[in-house]
Amino acid sequence: MNTETDSKCRLCQQFDDTIDHIISACTILAKEQYMKRHDRVCAQLHFNICKETGVQLDKKHWYEHVPKSVETSQGGKVTILWNQQVQTDRTISNSKPDIIIRDNEKGTCMLIDVAIQETEM
């Protein structure tokens, strides 16, 4: 249309404004938006785990769900921990998984740590 367009990202102005750049590589978005996305993915996962294990939920939809630090299923068979520190014998840099599902009858835990894959720039 005979106009000059700048192909650079409008936020960082460093790299081309491609889909890959916007969804995972922009330094401006990385500061906050990618963390928010990670937290929303975890919240949806938490909501579904609560539903599957029989935890009473306040909200009907996952997008309204605000995870609590500790949830217990009806009857107490399962405890679900959100963003809680795990005590370990040695110092471990990341000892705070996103979600822990504890089976109180078996005495076992499942640790879930969510990572959103980044594409290359």
Residue 112 near residue 99, CB atoms below 8 Å: yes
Give the shortest CB-9-to-Zn ion separation in angstroms.
3
Phi, psi of 47 (to 5 degrees): -60, -45
28 vs 66, beta carbon nearer Zn ion: 28
70 vs 121, beta carbon nearer Zn ion: 121
15 vs 62, beta carbon nearer Zn ion: 15
Give the shortest CB-95-to-Zn ion separation in angstroms.
33
Q: Give the three-state DSSP class for 70.
A: strand
- 11 interacts with Zn ion by CB under 5 A: yes
Give the shortest CB-20-to-Zn ion separation in angstroms.
11
Using CB under 5 A as the binding criterion, the count of chain residues that bind Zn ion stands at 4
Q: Where are the alpha helices (DSSP H) in the chain?
A: 19-20, 27-30, 33-53
Give the shortest CB-37-to-Zn ion separation in angstroms.
15
Tokens describing residue 26: 């922009």
Cα 3 to Cα 21: distance, rounded to the nearest angstrom? 24
**Chain residues that interact with Zn ion, rule: CB under 5 A:** 9, 11-12, 26
